[in-house]
A and B are shown apart, each in its own frame.
Chain A
Amino acid sequence: MPLKVEILRREPTGNVVMLEGSLDSNTYQQFEKATEPLMTSGTSLIVLDLAKLSYVSSAGLRVIFRIWKNAAAAKYKFGMVNLQPQVKTVFDIMQALPKEGVFSSLEELDTYLDLIQKQEAGKQKKAT
């Protein structure tokens, strides 16, 4: 089964990566190629929307982990939304779901980001 990768810009500098199909040994390079530029683009956020991802193998997991690992160094936030049961099982086995960063929907993610933004604004106000 092929993989479809679509990247949606999210204001102001975030990106939502929508995956559809199968992320496996045969398709992981396509995903890697599509997301590599994002990690060095000064993005503030990379979110993987997995609503239509029906299958993930360890080859796909490795790319996801790479994006996640890079988040601290490149100063972007990383999250995942809409994990389907068969995909979530794989993450569960790996004990690899981020404690803050897995959302059931994009709306829930927005609420979380609004909260973070308010906290940041509060900190800046205090500093000045």
Chain B
Amino acid sequence: MASATRLSVRLRPDLSEIERLADMVQDYAARQGWSPEVHNKVRLSIEELVANCVVHGCARGTCTWIAVDVRAGADDVIVRISDDGPPFDPLAAPDPSFDSPPDQRAIGGLGLFLVRHLMDSVSYKRDNGTNSVRFRIRLQPVMPSPLDMFEMDNAVYKDDLRLAAACLVLDERGWKALLGSTKPLCRAIAHKYNLMHEYDDLVADFMVKLLDGADGRIGALRRYDGSVKLNTYLAVVFGHLLIDRLRSIKAARLTDSDTPVEAVADRREAVQPSDSIQDCPGIDGLLHQAIGTLSDSDRRLLELYHFNKLKQREIATMLDCSIATVSRQLDRIHAVLRRVLSAHPAVMELVGNE
């Protein structure tokens, strides 16, 4: 039987019960939020005492049950192990000798030595025909603040590629570090898009997009190659998610108002820039050629500005840089495109008219 702060279990005096007990302690440890270190200490001490009871205590007479009771408090964990076997004080056993090298020592007494070493206090009493061993483990008195933990995690994962790799193998500290650094940025972007009311859902979708490979796509984290800062990369991924969401909202609104699908298509076509240029023969190929000369990051910027129709201010937020930087980069990209396209007479004419 287990409650929020207590685990009580009665076992048969048999070593095979230890596996069942270990599973219960593991579940209890997870519910209490124990560190792996505390969990390991408690599990090891319980196993050593129960095994000792079965092998040495119960072997010397009749024993029908062993009871384990674990109580977790705010500052400590108290464990009591009792049995109805003949009187047996496990703490009276002498420590093993460490005078000789390990490969020459007698093998014995290791378990109880471990218990005495791991516990902050341990005691034995015989009462009403029952042996009872009680031990206590103090929990860490001061927990680091969330901010300290974030900084500690970041210190471990200074390298973006290492952080991405840690997240892919579902390393808990890695995820904490990633969320700690990405959430404020996601929040800022969602705020800009006026999507704060569904922010939690969006972040959940974002996490799935980062990891998911189930539907044939490869998770975004798996594609990360370290060529840009991880934060920037994730901001772009999150940005795309929000743009998709906005498009679906917009489409849903148009459908709701009984607007014919053709009309939606017409509106989209209406925002296509420079129809006259697109109509010019050979201009498509030239444009593709011009865009092909750009770097990946330039193409991404172009896409955000011209195709996703984001404002420079919004792009700056997404890419975690200043508006001036975005503006400068767009000027440079336009200059490159203009240079390539200027070979076409129709473009020359249009540019000249600007």
Contacts and interface: CB of A to CB of B under 8 A. Distances in A.
Interface of A: 1-2, 22, 24-26, 55, 57-59, 61-62, 65-66, 68-69, 71-72, 78, 86, 89-90, 93-98
A10 to B, nearest CB: 21
Lowest 8 CB-CB distances: which A-B pairs, in order? A58-B111, A58-B110, A96-B102, A25-B51, A86-B40, A68-B103, A26-B18, A26-B19
A25, A26, A72 pick with most chain B CB within 10 angstroms? A25
B36 A86 contact: yes
A72 to B, nearest CB: 7
Given A71-B103, A93-B117, A55 B40 contact: yes
B318 to A, nearest CB: 40
Contacts of A93: 113-114, 117-118
Could you tell me the dominant secondary structure of chain B's interface residues? Answer: helix
Given A90-B114, A93-B118, A95-B98, A65 B103 contact: yes
B114 A66 contact: no
A66 to B, nearest CB: 7
Contacts of A78: 103
Interface in B14-43: 15-16, 18-19, 22-23, 36-37, 40, 43
B102 A94 contact: yes
Given A65-B103, A95-B98, A98-B102, A25 B114 contact: no
B48 A57 contact: yes
A68 B108 CA distance: 15
Interface string B84-117: 0000000000000010001111011011011001
Given A68-B102, A93-B114, A57 B107 contact: no
Interface string B56-71: 0000000000000000
Nearest to B110: A58
B43 to A, nearest CB: 7
Contacts of A61: 110
A48 B134 CA distance: 35
A71 B216 CA distance: 53
Nearest to B109: A58
A63 B15 CA distance: 17
B103 A57 contact: no
B44 interface: yes
Nearest to A97: B102
Given A25-B47, A86-B40, A57 B111 contact: yes
A88 B19 CA distance: 22
B101 to A, nearest CB: 8
13 contacts: A1-B19, A1-B22, A22-B22, A24-B18, A25-B15, A57-B114, A58-B110, A59-B51, A66-B107, A86-B40, A90-B44, A94-B110, A95-B98
Contact residues on B (Cβ < 8 Å of other chain), bracket: 20 to 34
A44 to B, nearest CB: 17
Contact of B102 (A58, A59, A65, A86): A65
A18 B203 CA distance: 41
Contacts of A57: 44, 47-48, 51, 111, 114
Contacts of B48: 57-58
A24 B113 CA distance: 16
B79 to A, nearest CB: 15
A66 B103 CA distance: 8
Contacts of B107: 62, 65-66, 69
A22, A24, A89 pick with most chain B CB within 10 angstroms? A24
A1 B44 CA distance: 13
Contacts of B105: 65
A113 to B, nearest CB: 19
Contacts of B37: 86
Contacts of B23: 1
A29 B130 CA distance: 30
Given A24-B18, A58-B111, 18 more contacts: A24-B22, A26-B15, A26-B19, A57-B44, A57-B114, A58-B48, A62-B107, A62-B110, A65-B105, A69-B103, A72-B103, A86-B37, A86-B40, A93-B113, A94-B113, A95-B102, A97-B102, A98-B102
Contacts of A72: 103
Nearest to B118: A93
Nearest to B111: A58
A65 B105 CA distance: 9
A57 B46 CA distance: 10
Contacts of A69: 103-104, 107
